[in-house]
Amino acid sequence: MASIMDPPGGDGVTFFDEAFATVWYDDETDAVVAQMTEYADGEPFREYMNAVIEGVNETGSDCVLADTREQPTLDSADQEWSATEWGPRAEANGVEKLAAVVPESVLAEMSVRKVTEQSADDIDREFFDSVADAKAWLAE
Q: What angle do CA 16, 22, 27 make, to 5 degrees?
A: 90
Secondary structure class of 9 (helix, strand, coil): coil
Contact 97, 63 (CB under 8 A): yes
DSSP calls for 119-136: -SS--EEEEESSHHHHHH
CATH T-level topology, domain 14-139? Transcription Regulator spoIIAA (3.30.750)
Buried-state track 107-131, b at ≥16 Cβ within 10 A, e below 16: ebbebbebbbeebebebebebbeeb
The b/e string for 80-100 (b: 16+ C-beta within 10 A; e otherwise) is: ebbbeebbeebbeeebebbbb
User: For 32-67, what is each residue's pLDDT tens digit?
Assistant: 999 999 989 999 999 999 999 999 999 999 999 999
Tell me: the pLDDT tens digits for 99-139?
Answer: 999 867 777 677 777 777 878 899 999 999 888 999 999 99
Prediction pTM value:
0.88
Within its chain, how far is the Cα of 50 from the centroid?
A: 10
